[in-house]
Amino acid sequence: MKIRTGVMDSSRGKKKTRNAMSSFRGKSPNDTREVEEDEKTFSTDNSDKQDVSVSSSIIERPQLGEDLSLESSDIGDETLVSERASTPVKSDSLKVEHSLKSAEATVIENGVSKHCLKDKEWTAVADKSSLGQSAESYSGMDSTVQCVVIVVEPDSHSDDGTGKEKDYSQEDGDKEDKSELQEASFTTDEQQNSSVENSEPMDSTLNESHSLLSSTVGNLESSVDKINISEVEEAEDSPNYSLHEGEEYINPHGVRFTPYEEGKDDVVPHVPHNIVCVQELFLFLVSLCNPNEKQNTEDNIRVSLKLLIVSLEVGADAVGSYNSLLTLVKGDLCRNIISLLSSERLTNFAADLQLAFLLFESLRSHLKFQMEAYLVRLASLTTNTDSTKIQHEKREVALESLLQFWRIPGFVTELYVNYDCDPYCSNVFEDLTDLLSKNAYPVSGVQNTHLLSLSALLSVVDSIEYNCRCRVESESKPMGFNGDGKRPILGAFHVKGRKFVCENVPTHEEIMAIKHRKELLSSGTEHFNSKPSLGIQVLQENGQLSSPLDPQEVARFFRENPMLDKNKIGEYISNKKNLKVLECFVKSFDFAELRIDEALRLYLETFRLPGEAIPISLVLEQFADHWHSCNGKPFANSDAAFTLAYAVIMLNVDQHNYNAKKQSIPMTAEDFMKNLKGVNGGKDFEKEMLESIYNAIKKEEIVMPAEQTGIVRENYLWKVLLRRGASKEGTFIHTPVGLFDHELFTLIRRPTVAALCLVFDRSDYPMIYELAISGFKKCAMISAHYSMSNDFDSLVISLCKFTTLLSSSESMDMLAASFGESLKAQLAAKSVFGLAHRHGDILRDGWKNVLDCIIQLFKCKLLPKELVE
């Protein structure tokens, strides 16, 4: 059904139009009662005694008693309308009752009452007979409306002859039954022109109805100033009206409509869903994509990934403002994303990569270590040499994802600063650059994976070259781009991307110092993992540890460095010679409000407990003293805490050691409490505490998680990752684009040029020739910009080899013929001479190769006459 109403406001001197589009399910055409088109013109006097003339056109109507539903799709001010049909009562009138205060309207058509709810003004029209019945109530109203025309146009949907109704959507109904509808509305000239342009062609009957109503409206505009309509009671002559004021209504589609009236104390205003609702929905979607849950099928995971993608596309920037959502992202969502990288279904794998891109592109400032774990795991997939089709496709999609990351402005710079220049993080940018370089090496022919890897390398080169060019152009101008004499930060020109606040950005000197310190710490770590005393000595010699040795400094090194071998840490701190280091190491833990078994579990995660009794006693004695003091000395003395801690270790062995279980039956809770009877200064420990300790140890073994495999190891590593992220180490530094271009190019130049040489040499496609030559030129331009003569010479020498002119085994005729037939050789020669001409001041040893090429061309008589005459 389509209802079009027109409104004229004399106070504003303009007309408003509102359209209510509806869909409804009706009977078959055979059962539909045809009502001949009826034009009724009626007049009435308003408060100013003005004449009103309205034309109402009614066409094919549904049969009485049919279920009608009206759903608003395009109503001004987002009005919500509903319509219902009640028990039919035979009548030939079309009557409208209007109530502005209650924001309700009742339409009675042929005895069928339809109740309409509306959050704002409802404008309606009655025919002559109904207007006569309620004309008295139109005077003395509180508000005014300016409309007197309504046209009700039911859609003629039918069943298929089987007695079952067809369910038409609003859009399908409008398209399929457009020819059966007649439309009557009036608009201003601009609105009318707009509607004509956007509407579909109407049939002749519709055009006649439209023109007739437009002419009637012209008379209406000249004769009507405004019509006062007062609030009226329910229609007494409509006994079938069953929906009362304040009553909820549910349409046949299951949509609930709740009336809302302003000014009532017991009515809660309509507000958007709050963060609690969003959090619950987000939590559900995150749990649905957990691959470790057996009930989550592949289809469920795919649906959840798609919905999460949509949520991040529209609201990723807002997630960081809510701790509840951010906690979900840092924990479960990131872990599920990393776990789904092992998915065998390509669609889920691709959706996972897309979700990860959206997440880390917008929220990487909160996800430093999560993004590191993700990129390291993704890099391992690109090195997979499995020749199966699915693995090859996954490898290709993974490389496309890396290329997408690499094209984010400033992303590679942030990788270098936050990971390669962090003492205890992996060299993410350097390792990925080497990986991409190896993936770009074609073994036989050039494949798509080779080009993707090369494109990722060249994306960094393109960015650096662009920044260098912008820097040169800005230096040639006396003032900055804004004309204020200030220059922007190097390279940060014309780059569109997400803007982050760049705070605490290290300088070039600081970056170099951090990078150097990281190399020394890596060397000392390797020595420590082979022999602890030697590692400490090397670190002292390199200035990373003070001499004489500071116990607190060593303890901090043990706690912060995740690369250290846990066995070697336990071996070092359990030695009596290093007792002060052990004391400082234990005091670095905060055991407050932790039960002794919980604190012991946290303590033993950081090192491996020695196997001998004496070292174990030494380590546990220091632990018991610190735990006892952190918790307000809950026992009689620290010896009681030491005894209980030792008993927990023995209980752990008794319950979970295979050899111990074999020799004797594991102890019960009563046995455990019996063994500790009277050790708390002659008294017993609390029974509830001992039972809790026993149950916790029996349920979950105290293990060295780093030495485990599977889910135990993964849980531990993820817990350590979250703990590091919550500390100062988790601070992510955003850097201006182009700030460390020189350092980046130093790392990327050699692997990029090597990849370009191999691709250029083994490809037979001119398009790839052009790509490689462009890469060579940009690398040369950057080398010249930073005065890197050795690198520039190396690049020119490599290009000279591709000219084939340096071969001395061939005759001059054969050499000239091969050169003339090879597009690759000609492009290389052209590039060599162009670079020598433009950057000759940087060229050093490469001049020899350039001159050799010129001499060979002279011998082959291929030089232009201008050079030889």
DSSP β-bridge partners for residue 97: 106
User: What is the rounded CA–CA span in Å between residue 744 and residue 724?
Assistant: 27
The residue type at 58: I
Residue 224 is encoded by which pair of tokens? 């009507």
Structure tokens, 417: 């600063």
Contact between residue 241 and residue 106 where contact means Cβ atoms under 8 Å apart: yes
Which residue among the candidates 221, 280, 313, 612 is catalytic per the annotation?
612
CB 158 within 8 A of CB 26: yes
Q: If 0-12 CB within 10 Å is exposed, 13-18 middle and 19+ buried, where does residue 553 land?
A: middle
Signed CA dihedral, 783, 788, 789, 792: sign only: negative
Q: Which of 527, 631, 623, 531 is nearest to 582 (CA)?
A: 623
Q: For residues 690 and 752, what is the distance between their CA atoms, to the nearest angstrom?
A: 63
For residues 561 and 520, the answer to whether their CB atoms sit within 8 Å is no
Phi, psi (degrees; rounded to nearest 5) at 635: -100, 175
d(CA 492, CA 739): 8
Instruction: Enumerate residues 6+ apart whose C-beta is below 8 A from 729.
Output: 368, 369, 422, 424, 560
Counting Cβ atoms within 10 Å, is residue 477 exposed (0-12), middle (13-18) or buried (19+)? exposed
Query: How many angstroms separate the CA atoms of 720 and 272, rounded?
Result: 38
Output the six-digit token pair for 533.
């005393």
Q: How far is CA 429 from CA 355, 411, 421, 780, in A?
A: 21, 10, 10, 22
Q: Is 372 noted as a catalytic residue in this protein?
A: no
Spell out where 32-189 has E strands: 38-42, 54-58, 94-99, 104-109, 112-117, 144-145, 149-153
Token pair recorded at residue 312: 């991040």
User: Is 683:636 a contact under the CB 8 Å cutoff?
Assistant: yes
Pair 7, 27: CB distance under 8 Å: no
Residue 496, both tokens: 């569109």
All residues at 6 or more sequence positions from 524 whose CB lies less than 8 Å from its CB, including other chains: 535, 536, 538, 539, 542, 544, 545
Confirm if 552 and 534 have CB atoms less than 8 A apart. no
Ordered alpha helix ranges (H), 383-531: 389-406, 411-415, 428-439, 448-475, 508-530
Widest Cα–Cα separation across the chain: 115
Residue of 748, 745, 653 whose CA lies nearest to 703 = 653
Give the pair of three-digit tokens for residue 579.
């007792």
Tokens of 397: 């999609």
Instruction: Report the distance separating Cα 743 and Cα 421, nearest Å.
Output: 11
Q: Alpha-carbon distance 177 to 164, whole Å?
A: 19
| CA 259 to each of CA 62, 76, 109, 117, 823: distance values in angstroms, whole numbers, following the listed order | 27, 19, 22, 7, 78
Which residues, other chains included, contact 530 with Cβ-Cβ below 8 Å and sequence gap of 6+?
none
Neighbours of 738 (CB within 10 A): 25
State the catalytic residues: 612
